[in-house]
Every structure is written in structure tokens, then in C-alpha cells.
Amino acid sequence: MMWHANHQTDEGSMCHPSDAEELRYFDRTYHDFKVEPRNVRLCLCTDGFAPHGQYGRMYSCWPVILTPYNLLLEMCMSSEYMFLRMVIPAPSNPKRLIDVYLEPLTEELQNLWHVGVLTHDSAKKETFTMHAALMWTVNDLRAYGIEYCWCYGVSSLYGRHTCILSAE
């Protein structure tokens, strides 16, 4: 879980999400989080699909998956480290109600950020308070708009910035 802290690449090259300028900005801004390399950096993935294919057009599922980005890239992208947090069932996409479904997860992530959770490190044989930060979300643009209640129609993104850093 501490691979990202020791991983070094050449300036300007990106081999892992930990090489991203956004992460460096995050580390400069939240130095207390960076000091403990066992703190977890998470990615949230959502996307809707029709489980019954073309015949199930009247029904969709929205899996919500969390992935830790503290690991090697091949581990981050393997199914063993993709944690299914919930499946949002709906007769169609959840649109404006997705925040209702995501509220318990949002509260848990806020608690992990502000308070943390007592965790045992078996390698070091010690207990520490682990914090977590949601660093990225991965989904198609339509799912992104729906997830953040910015998209209510097929292509009606309401002019909000989708990248916090580019909003400056």
C-alpha cells in the first residue's frame, strides 16, 4: 500500500496515477495526508448498463466501484482490488436520484477523510489512524454528468467545470 510513496519517475512522464500533477498539487495542499504514506487514495467508478442487453432496455444497473491507487498499476486495475460498493438498480438511469444512492458512501468517505479509522499494519506490527481521499472518478461523460447532477438530458451538461484544477 506504500508503493506510490517510494515510486519515482522522471519529471514530465506519467506511468501511474501517482505521477499526475493533480496528485502533486493535492500533496502540496494536504501535507498532513501525504506525511502518512499508508493513507489511501481512491478512485470511484460508475457506469450504467442494461444487464439483459437489448431486451432489458426498461431496466438498468449502475455498479459503484472503489479502487485504491496506492498500488502498482497492474494491481489497481485488477478485479481483486476493485471493490463493489453498491449496485444501483433502476428501471432507467437514476438521473437526479443518484445522490440519494451515493449519500451513505459519501458520508463514509467524509468520515475516512476527517476522522480516519484505526488500522493495524501487519508488516510494521503497529496500529495507526488511516485516512482516505477520493482522488478521481472514472466514467463516461454522461455518467459523470448524472453522478454530479449536472446532466439531466441526453446532452445537457449545464456549463460547470469538470476539472477542479482547470476551474482556476
Residue-wise pLDDT for 11-34, tens only, equals 666 566 666 777 788 888 999 998
Distance CA(84)–CA(63), nearest Å, equals 7
With respect to residue 3, please indicate whether it lies within any of the assigned structural domains: no
* pLDDT value of residue 6: 62
Three-class SS of residue 46?
A: strand
| Region 91-106 average pLDDT | 77
With respect to residue 145, please indicate whether it lies within any of the assigned structural domains: yes
With respect to residue 4, please indicate whether it lies within any of the assigned structural domains: no
Give residue-wise pLDDT tens across range 108-165.
999 999 999 999 999 899 999 999 999 888 776 555 555 555 444 433 444 444 444 4
With respect to residue 8, please indicate whether it lies within any of the assigned structural domains: no
pTM assigned to the model: 0.70
With respect to residue 22, please indicate whether it lies within any of the assigned structural domains: yes
Q: How many CB atoms lie within 10 A of CB 62?
A: 22
Distance CA(21)–CA(14), nearest Å, equals 9
Top pLDDT among 28 and 95 is at 28
| Region 63-70 average pLDDT | 88
C-alpha cell at position 158:
449545464
With respect to residue 5, please indicate whether it lies within any of the assigned structural domains: no
Helices (H), 30-153: 31-35, 73-76, 98-114, 141-147
With respect to residue 6, please indicate whether it lies within any of the assigned structural domains: no
Whole domain around residue 34: which residue ranges? 15-167
State how many domains the chain has: 1
With respect to residue 159, please indicate whether it lies within any of the assigned structural domains: yes
Phi, psi of 128 (to 5 degrees): -145, 165
Sign of torsion over alpha carbons 71, 9, 41, 31? positive
C-alpha cell at position 99:
445522490
